[in-house]
A and B are shown apart, each in its own frame.
Chain A
């Protein structure tokens, strides 16, 4: 046995770059940045082995504030660029950061395909239900009736539910957290990173300038307990100030119902969270206030047997180890003739 010096574990501050952070004062992104620094320190990440890839938008400035490798790309294409990074070097630990517009409008196609391919990387969607960098237009997650410079009389299109979208694309890890839930966010990001395959985390993020307090009805401290349900694998799906409320399944309509233990349900009636249950995850993802609490935490975590990048690596290794091709053989393959 040899004595190895264990490299000193990096601290959260070691993941911060020397660049001045330029988000608006009070922006939820600051808290997310802090949580990411903390998460990387906790999981023992290295700066050289970590890459942050982003598209365009406020959130997409993220890589500049990291001391890791970073690639700030073009609008909507972060998932596609990150796919290429991972294909070229599957050993890199890749985090993609995008806002709701970047990820679900212009980049919806790439996000869909990255999720279904199950490329081993972490996708953080900062959802603030508004376009920030272009000054306040409504976004694909904005609720119907959102008044904005481009929808002065209120938006009329149905918003996309990010978590439900991800599940529909075949994501194997889908979670939710929020900018002001620091401990929960670090815990959720850590789980996302631990998932082998593509993880998708929707982070509720407050835009203080264009959409302030849009999540107040379930994120504010005073309503949190009644308006959110914190998911724990293997634990009953209970919530409420005194924990007496819970989710039950109505077998007739195959839908969830909020019930109160001791009133219209027994403890046994309350569903138990199972991260590996895709049907349950779908039901949880679609719960919305005011009739339901918002499901926060890991909705779905069911790793596939293989990830795209590992499968590709395996195929490449098999092809190149079998017979590392010589170019001469390639060029002379098939029919040749000699002119003398």
Chain B
């Protein structure tokens, strides 16, 4: 399965693994996110493909040593394409008892625990809920255990730099990182340079961190002689040549929106209200003023969408973002955007629902809310992004469609995508087609609700333009003139026009392609959003074994791709895995009358590859 290392002994007594999954876990103050970040970069530089996911505690400042204060960072890396963060851990670094307690269930049988036994004292054991020390009572017999007093060894390594005890202990994460660098044969030079730059004003701290990193590495070399623990070689992956960076879904959405606005020759006015896990988008964009991005923190979700719509009315591209409950509040204003036919992008970082639900956990249960969740016949465009790097392109597309079709567009991402990170080949921007906005300027025969014959979009006439003064609103409008109209025939016509306009978007985007496999066959696994990684990996594995299964992954949720019905009709079975009770599957069945079948997981956790693998096999045996 994804991340499961197929290990063997090479002639140099090194183990070789196709892929490996490592999780760093410790207290919130142990610097696990930072440690994971450095390991990620060193791993990317070593030529592996990878995927990462941080798991922060929901509490702002949890008490030290508690299970709910554990912060973790997981990385899956390998010599092949890596599409998930890994089902099970090969290595768990546990900086305290609570970190061991919370994460042990994810460690595979025979996996390695590296524990700082210096923290396994009575107080910490009690806080973690252990009655006796698990490092000493034989309860970890199913795993390999490297129990080492990291705290003590770190303090010894840094004592020559004159730092305080507290400062010294804070470099413990670098000691652990050094040990993992030894284990996976990573270069330390980049991390050392980074530490020296980061602590340029505190040379003693910089030196202590470097010393801790080197000491952890050196410790690895000594245990190689004395224990069964061996370094593991993960060969480089075949990766396309190009310039890369690591990117989270949030960053990629922010940059994609910014790129979209630039390609449209527009200022973006981004109006939002803080909510987990969408807030990071506001933070990221707030730093991009010099890219002509104006950000506004509104007083509430409703004000945020209304201000964004006001900005669009005034001739900028208005964007708002939120998560499920916040999007619920924006619903009425979305109807206004649909009725007045103004461009608008709404980013929904989905989380567990209903109501407040699971704010820090991922889910994809807002598909119905996006496609149908408004009063009246109120169609809009819904796009879903599937991976951190895919977020960029999808966000550009959201801006393009919103402007070209004068419509609100909902861009669905989720809590997993928002925080997950993967290497991203930086796109060649010169190859991206600009789509400069065409504002109406000619008063001759101007009507605010006349329509482009191809797209059915109405003209965008911005206030300030002489001769185009007009009034719009949420009341039904006369086709063409836009005057208030209660005429029954006109309402029927306008309702159909609004629906037809959204359907025409399907003619403006590519046909649905098959991501993996064949265009007909026994089984199609159809997904959307962040299930991409696990589905893709499961289908890859199954196909390698000769199973007749294909993977189709939708970006265009509404309107559905124009060829989708024909495409799906070519498979004997259709399986739709979703992190909800079956929303896309109902949409497909309703639209196409096809016997699609759901596979549902609503635990706040992404699908494991093993779960999908089992579901595929069950249908092909």
Whether B426 lies near A331 (C-beta < 8 A) is yes
Interface residues of B in 35-79 (CB under 8 A from A): 41, 44-45, 47
**B244: contacting residue among A73, A80, A91, A339, CB under 8 A:** A339
CB within 8 Å for A66 and B294 given contacts A48-B463, A48-B465, A336-B245: no
Whether A80 lies near B314 (C-beta < 8 A) is no
Whether B314 lies near A88 (C-beta < 8 A) is yes
Distance of A333 from chain B, by nearest CB (Å): 9
Whether A92 lies near B288 (C-beta < 8 A) is no
Q: A74-B332, A88-B310 are in contact. List 18 more A-B contacts (CB 8 A).
A: A19-B483, A71-B473, A80-B306, A80-B307, A84-B271, A85-B314, A88-B267, A88-B294, A88-B313, A88-B316, A88-B318, A110-B303, A315-B289, A320-B292, A327-B259, A337-B41, A338-B241, A339-B47
Q: What are the 8 A-B residue pairs with the smallest beta carbon separation, nearest first?
A: A84-B310, A72-B473, A84-B307, A319-B289, A80-B306, A70-B471, A88-B314, A88-B311
- Contacting residues, chain A, for B308 (C-beta < 8 A): 84
Whether B240 lies near A339 (C-beta < 8 A) is yes
- Contacting residues, chain A, for B269 (C-beta < 8 A): 84, 87-88
Task: Tell me the bound Cα distance from A315 to B290 in angstroms.
Answer: 10
Interface residues of A in 139-185 (CB under 8 A from B): none
A-B CB contacts (within 8 Å), total count: 202
Task: Tell me the bound Cα distance from A322 to B315 in angstroms.
Answer: 24
Distance of A119 from chain B, by nearest CB (Å): 10
State whether the Cβ of A214 lies closer than 8 Å to any Cβ in chain B.
no
- Contacting residues, chain A, for B240 (C-beta < 8 A): 339
CB within 8 Å for A69 and B473 given contacts A77-B303, A110-B299: no
Distance of A118 from chain B, by nearest CB (Å): 14
State whether the Cβ of A67 lies closer than 8 Å to any Cβ in chain B.
yes
Distance of A205 from chain B, by nearest CB (Å): 21
CB within 8 Å for A335 and B314 given contacts A73-B306, A92-B463: no
| Contact residues of A: prevailing secondary structure | mixed
- Contacting residues, chain B, for A53 (C-beta < 8 A): 310
Whether B310 lies near A332 (C-beta < 8 A) is no
State whether the Cβ of B462 lies closer than 8 Å to any Cβ in chain A.
yes
- Contacting residues, chain B, for A91 (C-beta < 8 A): 464
- Contacting residues, chain A, for B47 (C-beta < 8 A): 339
State whether the Cβ of B333 lies closer than 8 Å to any Cβ in chain A.
yes
7 contacts between A and B (CB under 8 A): A67-B469, A71-B473, A80-B307, A110-B306, A319-B290, A330-B258, A331-B427
Whether B310 lies near A335 (C-beta < 8 A) is no
State whether the Cβ of B298 lies closer than 8 Å to any Cβ in chain A.
yes
State whether the Cβ of A325 lies closer than 8 Å to any Cβ in chain B.
yes
Interface residues of A in 55-84 (CB under 8 A from B): 63-64, 66-74, 77, 80-84
State whether the Cβ of A3 lies closer than 8 Å to any Cβ in chain B.
no
Whether A17 lies near B471 (C-beta < 8 A) is yes
Distance of B518 from chain A, by nearest CB (Å): 30
State whether the Cβ of A328 lies closer than 8 Å to any Cβ in chain B.
yes
Whether B318 lies near A84 (C-beta < 8 A) is yes
